[in-house]
Amino acid sequence: MQEPKDYKMKWMKWFAPVLIVLGSAGCLGGGDGWVMGTLWVDNCKNGDPLGESFDRPTTFDLHVDFFTGESMEDSDKSVTQRRSTLVLRIQNTSNNVEVSDGLLLQIIELDVAARSFAAGQPIPISSSNLCPGGNCTLVEDTLRASLYLYSTCPDGRQALNGSSYSLAPSPKDTTCLQSGALAPPCPVLADAARQSLDTMCKGDFNDRTQAPAISQLLGHGACMYLCALGDARRGQPSDELGGFRISYGDRVAGIFSTGIVDGRAVNLQGCAGGAGEIQGMFDFELARGRSAQSFP
C-alpha cells in the first residue's frame, strides 16, 4: 500500500509539542547511563568558548542524572500504514530543557528501529534534516540526535546535531570551521563486533571506560546500537514488527557514538560555532510523567 503523501508533514507537526510534553516529566527520570566525549562551542558563556578552539576541544561529560521518554502512537488501524515514534531525553538534571544540558534522541520510525534491533545492526543517526546550501533532496530517516547545552553554554544557541558530516577549516580562512563531505554513518557489523556490543549490553551501563571501545566498534560516524526496545527480540522476523509500538514500563537501552556539528552552519554554509564527538550508553524504563498541555 502506498504511503500517504502528507506522511512527512504529519510527523514534522508532531515534533513541535514534544519538548513541552517531556518538560513535564520532572518527577521521574531514573535510569543508568552516561554521555561524554570532546567538544568545542564558540561563545559559550560570557563571551568565552567551551574548549580552547575547534582543533583543541575540551573533554566533555554530561553528568547524566535524568532519563525520560515519550511514545507517540499513530492511530491508523492499518498495521502497514501505522507509524509510531519514540523521543528519549537524557539530561543532567530534571529541570526543563531550556535551563538544562541534555541529549535528545528522536526515533522517528519505531518499526524500522525494531527491525534493526532484531537484526543486531546499528541505526544510523540521520543528517537528512541538515542540507548544505538548502539544495538537498530530503529523505525519510529513522533516528535524529541533538545536544543542547543551555546550562553550561547559556550564550551559545547553536543547533548542535548528531551527524556524520565532516568539519574542516575553510581554505580561505583557517579560523572558520565549515562542513564537508557526509561520511558513512554506520558500519555493517561483523559477528565479532556485534558480540562485543552485546557483551556491553549485558554489562554496566554506568561504565564510562567503554567509550574508546564504543567509538572503535561503531566508527566515527553517527549511529546507535539498541540493547533493548520494549518486547522486540533479537532474531525476530521482520514481518512481526510492522506497526511496532512501545508502552510505559517497557525497557529501552542503547549504545551510541556520533559526531556533533553546528547544524545551522551546515545548512547555511557558514562558519561553525560548535563541533565534537560523543559516545554514551543508557538503560531505563519508560514512565509517564505529569500531564501537560501540548500546543500545536
> Which of these ranges, 98-107, 175-184, 235-244, 272-281, has the smallest mean pLDDT?
175-184
**Phi and psi angles of residue 220, each rounded to the nearest 5 degrees, phi first:** -105, 30
Residue whose C-alpha is closest to residue 255's, from 191, 203, 184: 203
Q: Which residue has the higher pLDDT, 296 or 79?
A: 79
Identify residue 212 by its one-letter amino acid code.
P
Q: Flag the least confident range among 186-190, 242-246, 265-269, 281-285.
A: 265-269
Q: Is the Cα dihedral 262, 122, 3, 296 positive or negative?
A: negative
Give the dihedral of Cα atoms 157, 161, 166, 169; nearest 10 deg.
0
Cα gap 73→190, rounded to integer Å: 33
User: Roughly how many angstroms between the first and final C-alpha of the chain, as a whole number?
Assistant: 29
Specify the pTM. Answer: 0.84
The residues pairing with 107 across neighbouring beta strands, listed in sequence order, are: 86, 143
Indicate the burial class of 97 (C-beta count within 10 angstroms; 0-12, 13-18, 19 or more). Answer: middle
pLDDT computed for residue 219 by the predictor: 84
C-alpha 257: how far from chain center: 9
For position 253, what pLDDT does the model report?
98
Q: How does DSSP classify residue 253?
A: E
User: What whole-number distance in Å separates Cα of residue 84 and Cα of residue 44?
Assistant: 36
Question: Mean pLDDT over residues 49-68, rounded?
Answer: 94
CA distances from 162 to 47, 79, 219, 258, 261 (A): 24, 30, 14, 6, 7
Cα separation, 257 vs 290, in Å, equals: 31
Cβ atoms of 101 and 91 closer than 8 Å: yes
Q: Which three cell numbers stand for residue 40?
A: 568545542
Which tens digit of pLDDT belongs to each residue from 121-159? 999 998 667 777 665 655 567 899 999 999 999 997 778
